[in-house]
Amino acid sequence: MGSGEDLKSIDFHLFPNASVSGLVTDQNDEPLEGIEVTFLRREYDMGGIRYVRTGVTRTNDLGEYRLERRYFAGNVTALLWARRPQTQLQAMSDAPADPAMRREAVESTYFPNGVRPEEGAVIRLARGEQRENVNIRLPRSQSFCVEAQANIAGPAEDKHFLIDTLQPAFGAGRSMAMSSAKNPGRVGRDGRLLICDLPRGEYRLMIYAGNDGPPESLGVAQFAITDEDVKNLQITAQPRTPLSGTTVWASGPPAKPIEDTIYVELARLHHGFGGVIRAQPKIPEEFRLQWTVSIGGDLDNPLIDDYRVDIRLLPEGVYVKDVTYGGESVWNETLRLGSKPAGTGIEVLLAHDGGSLRAHAVDDKSEPASDVTVVLIPKKTATHMELADTRLAAITNNRGEASFDSVPPGEYWVLATGDNFMDYAVETIAALFDAKAKAEEINIGPNAAVDIEVEVQRLQR
């Protein structure tokens, strides 16, 4: 709304949740109770595709499930993943040493019968669609164990472990979806772990010390189970480590000093421990990234793990040129904290010659189009991943206007679509990439202000 403008009306459109339902059985068509069925959204992130959990349910005693999903863009486009969920983990399993004597495992399945997420079929549900008879078969198979030594300091009651699949991963999705591992086990005094009832697959084992708030230390080991038990796995917990940084101008300071602060944040890629890792520096300024669970809470150093660097609240005309860690770029790449010598910080390189764009979206009758997505795509974009990393997007106001105030100088495609295309889903990025030929072409010079009218298009995902 503009200054002094009255809002005449608000319309609410209510739709039933989209859902899928069906039966989960084993290879003998016996129903499986307590199986976890999950929607997985495919997102571009950190140079690859991540599978983010966006809805979950469990089967009843008849093997029946019904999974609902409210998706504000209108449709649901996701994979369907079924598995036997973890129970409360025990440090030392009582499973027999002889694999032939153990109870069978239940293999996880990506509908209809994929072993890996790349083999799953994409399910597309229209807004409010109720799809039935989506049946999933989970074969029973031999179960395996992993034997590990957890090297972790601290009181016995504070030492815990978690195990889960590499994909889908826990942690923060790029569209801010977050999932957290549950049911941690407690590491025994001798640090020995024997975890059983595992089907074949790739896993991530975590150990950590602490109960409330951010853990004091974290250790991670990845391993794969193929056709035998995994033995002699060593995993060592590392204490939290300080991470400092600096914000610098790429080509000298602006003529008029900028007093605003920005947000430099670390998004956790593999774990769901709560809180925010953030610094709020000026430009230029040294800073220290610290972890807080609540507003006004204690500040802690981050854990040694993998992160995504996010920069937010940039002043008008300011944009990110690069972020480096130990001389290597980590902007739109994974920051592996601890992979550089102790004391290594990050450098946030910023430029202040960004241009601005005001886009006026109109419908096929040349009337202003409100609540549509305007997307700005650099013309040098050559791949879907590049588009996910570099596109800019905004929603129009009730006058059909969308503003971009910190655009790196260069040539761009501009398009508008009636659906919400703000997310990083694989289907969203593919549709935008294919629509470039229909887009308007513009050039935004350093510190330039550009106005453009763009007609709304219907894009298919």
Q: How many domains is the chain partitioned into structurally?
A: 3
pTM of the entire predicted model:
0.86
Query: How many other CB atoms are found less than 10 A from the CB of residue 382?
Result: 10
Do 146 and 216 belong to one domain?
yes
Residue 17 pLDDT grade (very low, low, confident, very high; cuts 50, 70, 90): confident
Range of the domain at 400: 355-457
Do 142 and 202 belong to one domain?
yes
Listed in sequence order, the residues at least 6 apart from 376 whose beta carbon sits closer than 8 Å to its beta carbon are 357, 391, 392, 393, 404, 407, 412, 413, 414
Could you read off the pLDDT of 324-381 as tens digits, one per residue? 999 999 999 999 999 999 999 999 999 999 999 999 999 999 999 999 999 999 999 9
Nearest to 375 by CA among 320, 309, 438, 449: 438
Listed in sequence order, the residues at least 6 apart from 439 whose beta carbon sits closer than 8 Å to its beta carbon are 377, 413, 414, 415
Do 382 and 415 belong to one domain?
yes
Do 170 and 304 belong to one domain?
no
Identity at 253, one-letter amino acid code: P
Identity at 440, one-letter amino acid code: E
Going by DSSP bridges, is the β-strand pair 123-125/76-83 parallel, antiparallel, or unpaired? antiparallel
Per DSSP, 3 falls in state: T
Query: Facing residues of 219 across strands?
Result: 207
The reported pLDDT for the residue numbered 74 is: 54
- Across 216-238, b (16+ Cβ under 10 Å) vs e yields bbbbbbebebeeebbeebebebe
Q: What's the burial of 21, exposed, middle or buried (CB within 10 Å: 0-12/13-18/19+)? A: middle
- When computed from its CA atoms, the radius of gyration of the chain, rounded to whole angstroms, is 25
Do 335 and 218 belong to one domain?
no
Residue 394: inside a domain, yes or no? Answer: yes
Across the range 438-447, mean pLDDT stands at 95
Tally DSSP H helices, then E strands, for the chain.
2, 37
Residue 53: inside a domain, yes or no? Answer: yes
Q: Is 374 helix (H, G, I), strand (E, B) or coil?
A: strand
Do 327 and 372 belong to one domain?
no
Residue 266: inside a domain, yes or no? Answer: yes
Of 320, 351, 382, the domain-final residue: 351
Nearest to 378 by CA among 446, 321, 310, 433: 433
Residue 59: inside a domain, yes or no? Answer: yes
Give CA 85 to chain center in angstroms. Answer: 21
CATH classification at residue 445: 2.60.40.10
The reported pLDDT for the residue numbered 297 is: 60
CA dihedral for 259, 262, 264, 265, sign (positive or negative): positive
Do 292 and 347 belong to one domain?
yes
Residue 13: inside a domain, yes or no? Answer: no
Distance of alpha carbon 331 from alpha carbon 325, whole angstroms: 9
Query: How many other CB atoms are found less than 10 A from the CB of residue 57?
Result: 17
Distance of alpha carbon 106 from alpha carbon 141, whole angstroms: 6
Residue 8: inside a domain, yes or no? Answer: no
pLDDT at 22 over 90: yes
Could you read off the pLDDT of 122-160 as tens digits, one per residue? 998 888 889 999 999 999 999 999 999 999 998 878 899
What phi and psi values does residue 433 have, to the nearest 5 degrees?
-60, -45
Residue 5: inside a domain, yes or no? Answer: no
Do 191 and 166 belong to one domain?
yes
